[in-house]
Amino acid sequence: MSNEKLIKIFMAGAIIFSGNLVYQNVLAKSGYHWVKATNYSPHAYHAKVIGQKTNVWNWNHTKVLHNMKNYPHTTWYANRTVTMHSGSKRAVYYQVTSGNKKNSGYIWRGYLTKGKYKSVTNSINNDSNKRTAISNGKSTYLTDPYRPTERMITVYVNDSLNNQIASLFLGTEHTIVAQNAANLFYLAYTSPNGGDYQQGYLDYFLGEKTGEQTMTFSTLGNPRYAGSSKGLVAYITQKLAGRLKRDGHTFNDFAGYQIGVYVFPKNTKWYGNTMVYLVPGN
């Protein structure tokens, strides 16, 4: 073999060796390296907890590319599963790309759940049976259906905030009757006969049999929310996720249920505390 060929082989080996050193140095800095990678056709996923702060990383876990709280309604498509190792820790990540193909990266699989994101079915705008309690901007008060002299000011109902929290419960139907009962929760909560009032509103708007089957989840008892308005939905999401977990549930367990939500608005002393009604489907 000629000296020229030997020199070329030596140079090629040196380049490969130096490249491996750079690669190993990067991994050493990050503390993560790939143990196993499996490619497959794209599978749809979405955030397991809407609004949760979770990072989407670059390939070697050295840089945060995105935060999932900024993509609450995005469907992500995974096409690779990577097992990463760092010290004594080992975790499985998905390589994901957003539905619009503008964002991608690696995210721990525990932050995702299978399937495309589906927004809550909102029946409020096309339901003709509005009865008396819906906050529609045309009335200053919401009236107790049993006791017409008892009423509450509509400023104690934040429709936008209630709708945002309802959308966390994937596959539910946000109906006018369930929301009517929820809108009056403030009246029940501030009344000496609150428990009776609350069940009475459920029975009135949903029917006695259905009202008795309604599941309730609340974050009542927490201190008044003191953070910024931008962080309120994430705060409520976290509190509700914890409340659901205590009963063995997640936001994804109520597909087909009707939903009504009441969040105490900023002009009350219970700001951020939340009541959720979930009504089993027929």
pLDDT of residue 226: 95
Quickly count: other Cβ atoms within 10 Å of residue 47's Cβ. 22
CA dist 245 → 166, 176, 216, 257, 262 (Å): 17, 27, 14, 18, 20
Residue 150 CB-density burial (10 A; 0-12 exposed, 13-18 middle, 19+ buried):
middle
- For 230, residues 6+ apart whose C-beta sits below 8 A from its C-beta are none
pLDDT digits over 194-216, tens only?
A: 667 888 888 888 887 777 889 99
Q: Residue 120 gets which letter from DSSP?
A: P
- Indicate whether 257 pLDDT > 80: yes
Q: Summarize the confidence of residues 256-269 as an average pLDDT.
A: 94
Domain with CATH 2.30.30 in the chain: 31-114
pLDDT at site 276: 97
Just give the CATH number of 31-114: 2.30.30
Average pLDDT (222-233) is: 94
